[in-house]
Amino acid sequence: MRFNFIPRNMFLDNETARRFNIGVGDETFIIGRFINHEGRQQNLPTARFGCIAQMPIEPIDEQESFLVEARSIGGYSGSPVFIYIPILSYRENVEDWYAPITTRDPITGYERLNESLAAFAGKDWGHFKSHGPWLLGVDWGHINDWQPVCGAAGTPIDRGGPPWKTQVRMNTGIMTVVPAWKLIEMVDAGSIADQRKQIVENIRKHQESNPPPVTPD
């Protein structure tokens, strides 16, 4: 089986989010399972793209969550959600950010780069590049709305009884994402952290009692 993992330094934390002024409108992508075409001979991941729609200010079902506009559907729960800052993008309120230098063309009215990338030779490219991707978090669901069932004339049907009998569930396209910093808390504290420490200790003891063979020169 082929697999990969997300290194710890890619997890978005509160400090990085504040430093780069990450917020509503920032671009995201998701790697997950599209249940309508997930592959028969092999597991085929599918990428979806979107942006942050709301920061994790108020909990959703008691869970701190980003709201991400990404047209999520069932099957993507547990998928990693990433965020990145594209190259040459403007960034407000970020210290030492190198914004692209532009001028407005007097004929077309469009803004264009005033200097070529070659003109930046010798400058600090550390700020003049794409940033990320970082793991924004993990998709745990999507928000639905309820709409009444209507007849041919468009009038809602009311047969009495519980409302759900005459309503249909509609996907709002908003994905709920538990922040990566909550995952950090989970693996660094409590029973999971204790298990990780025990595993590391077992590996250390095993390596000490089974040193690798030494090949003579």
What is the pLDDT, as a whole number, of residue 1?
Answer: 64
Q: What percent of the chain lies above the pLDDT cut of 90? A: 24
Does the residue 200 lie in any domain?
no
| Tens digits of residue pLDDT in 93-105 | 887 676 555 555 5
Does the residue 18 lie in any domain?
yes
Which structural domain range is residue 114 located in?
Answer: 97-128
Does the residue 190 lie in any domain?
no
For the segment 75-79, the average pLDDT, to the nearest whole number, is 87
Q: Work out the burial of residue 65: count CB atoms within 10 Å of its CB; fewer than 13 is exposed, 13-18 middle, 19 or more buried.
A: buried
| Tens digits of residue pLDDT in 50-64 | 999 999 988 888 889
Are 19 and 31 contacting, i.e. CB atoms less than 8 angstroms apart?
no
3-state secondary structure of 90: coil
User: Do 20 and 119 belong to one domain?
Assistant: no
User: Do 75 and 36 belong to one domain?
Assistant: yes
pTM: 0.70
Check pLDDT > 50 for residue 116: no
User: Do 78 and 138 belong to one domain?
Assistant: yes
| Tens digits of residue pLDDT in 131-149 | 889 999 999 988 877 778 8
What is the pLDDT, as a whole number, of residue 82?
Answer: 96
For the segment 116-132, the average pLDDT, to the nearest whole number, is 54
What is the pLDDT, as a whole number, of residue 79?
Answer: 92
Between residues 52 and 200, the one the model is more confident about? 52
Residue 177 structure tokens: 């994402």
User: Do 80 and 22 belong to one domain?
Assistant: yes
What is the pLDDT, as a whole number, of residue 58?
Answer: 86
Check pLDDT > 70 for residue 125: no
Does the residue 171 lie in any domain?
yes
Q: How confident is the model at residue 90 (pLDDT cuts 50, 70, 90)?
A: confident
Calpha distance 144→36 (Å, rounded): 19
For the segment 159-167, the average pLDDT, to the nearest whole number, is 69
Domains of the chain: total:
2
For the segment 44-51, the average pLDDT, to the nearest whole number, is 88
User: Do 17 and 79 belong to one domain?
Assistant: yes
Does the residue 191 lie in any domain?
no
